[in-house]
Structure 1
């Protein structure tokens, strides 16, 4: 593997670990939601967990396509013991912003690999949309 390829694989492995931890994170959030608005919020968190799994799978496939070895680790998921919806959404926002930053970091190393660049740009779009959605959910002025 060329030096840039090794850097890309290392970054993709960090993303894989983040996406895998997102599955755990969002499942935990879904399990901890209580109150009258529980059903739609739980559904949304389950969707996020499923999407994290899909993203992890896509990134893992790209890692192996680049000749790398997918990580078996997951990024740490802190247990804050705060399970109020707004607190959980703030944690979710921080997580999504960190993931977005990591995807953007990969963009700097795509070189002339158009397929990799297109994949990462699509992930940047999805992470940005997640962030926008969470920001809207956190807006309690309406």
Structure 2
């Protein structure tokens, strides 16, 4: 494995750890939401958990394609014991922003691997869209 591939594999493994923690995080959020708007919010959190699994799987496939070994670690998921929807959404926003930063870090190491670059750019687009959606959900002025 080249030095550059090693760096990419390390970053992708960090992303896997983060995405798997997102599965745990979003499942927990879905279970904790209460109140009259519960159903659509729970549905959205379940979708986010499923997407985290899919993202982790895609990154794991790329790790093995690059000759690496996918991590078994999971990033810690803090328990804030705050389960109000707006608080959960703020936590979600921070999490999505951190994930976006990780994906952007990989872009710097794609070199001439167009497939890797396009994969990561698509992930940057999705994470950006998640952030935009959460920001809209946090807007209580309307």
For residues 19-69 of structure 1, give each alpha carbon's deviation from its aligned partner in whole angstroms, at most 9, with x where no partner exists: 000000000000000001000000000000000000000000000000000
Which residue of structure 2 lines up, in the alignment, with residue 89 of structure 1?
89
Q: C-alpha separation between the residues in 2 aligned to 1:38 and 1:99? A: 25
Q: C-alpha separation between the residues in 1 aligned to 2:100 and 2:17? A: 14
User: Which SS does the other structure have where 1:64 is aligned?
Assistant: helix
Which residue of structure 1 lines up, in the alignment, with residue 104 of structure 2?
104
Which residue of structure 1 lines up, in the alignment, with residue 5 of structure 2?
5
Which residue of structure 2 lines up, in the alignment, with residue 58 of structure 1?
58
1:27-42 aligned within 5 A: 27-42=27-42
RMSD of equivalent CA atoms:
0.3
Q: Which structure 1 residue ranges, 4+ long, deviate > 6 Å from structure 2?
A: none
Which ranges of structure 1 fall in alignment gaps of 5 or more residues? Answer: none
For residues 93-132 of structure 1, give each alpha carbon's deviation from its aligned partner in whole angstroms, at most 9, with x where no partner exists: 0000000000000000000000000000000000000000
Q: C-alpha separation between the residues in 2 aligned to 1:101 and 1:79? A: 22
- CA drift at 1:77: 0.3
- CA drift at 1:3: 0.6
Which ranges of structure 2 fall in alignment gaps of 5 or more residues? Answer: none
- CA drift at 1:89: 0.1
Which residue of structure 1 lines up, in the alignment, with residue 23 of structure 2?
23
Which residue of structure 2 lines up, in the alignment, with residue 122 of structure 1?
122
Q: C-alpha separation between the residues in 1 aligned to 2:26 and 2:128? A: 17
TM-score (norm: length of structure 2) = 1.00
Q: C-alpha separation between the residues in 1 aligned to 2:19 and 2:44? A: 16
Which residue of structure 1 lines up, in the alignment, with residue 73 of structure 2?
73
